[in-house]
């Protein structure tokens, strides 16, 4: 129930936002469209395709201000989830939740997000992709 609440309130929309920064996402999007008739093998195949996907994050497409506002407006909800004792049973989800909260804190800490993006654009998308793999 906790994991479902996260994805309903935050996760799905946040994933949509950050995947919109990937120039190559349209190549894999059709393979990830979950259908009612999917079985275990379909989910495993989609996971393999996603793991093999080479992200191509475009600094020009990144809208960190939207990410900051989105996560900031849900900070209380995220913190309440983190307080839930049921998370002890879900280490991977707890790590995901902490990573999302960390991104929210980092974005909140930065006042001039546009100035912060310039160094990312100059080193290329690889550095950002490495960081996003933790999400």
Q: Does the pLDDT value for residue 124 go beyond 80?
A: no
Q: For residue 3, is it left (φ>0), alpha (ψ between -120 and 50) or beta? A: alpha
Q: Domain locations in the chain?
A: 2-22+57-132, 24-56
Q: For residue 90, which of 33, 18, 27, 6 has the smallest C-alpha distance?
A: 6
Which residue has tokens 């475009």?
A: 58
- pLDDT, residue 131, reads 47
pTM over 0.85: no
- Tell me how far apart the alpha carbons of residues 27 and 59 are, in angstroms, rounded to a whole number: 19
| Dihedral angle, C-alpha 6, 8, 10, 15, nearest 10 ° | 110
In this prediction, residue 87 has a pLDDT band, given cuts at 50, 70 and 90, of confident
- pLDDT for 31-51, tens place per residue? 888 889 999 999 999 889 888
């Amino acid at each position: 129930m906790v994991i479902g609440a996260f994805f309903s309130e935050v996760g799905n929309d946040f994933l949509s936002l950050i995947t919109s920064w990937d120039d190559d996402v349209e190549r894999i999007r059709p393979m990830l469209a979950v259908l009612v008739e999917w079985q275990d093998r379909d989910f495993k195949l989609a996971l393999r395709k996603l793991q093999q996907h080479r992200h191509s994050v475009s600094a020009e497409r990144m809208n960190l201000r939207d990410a900051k506002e989105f996560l900031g407006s849900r900070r209380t909800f995220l913190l309440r989830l983190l307080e839930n004792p049921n998370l002890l049973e879900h280490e991977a989800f707890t790590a995901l939740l902490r990573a999302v909260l960390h991104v929210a804190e980092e974005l909140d800490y930065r006042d001039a997000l546009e100035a912060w993006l310039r160094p990312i654009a100059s080193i290329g998308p690889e550095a950002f992709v490495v960081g996003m793999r933790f999400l």
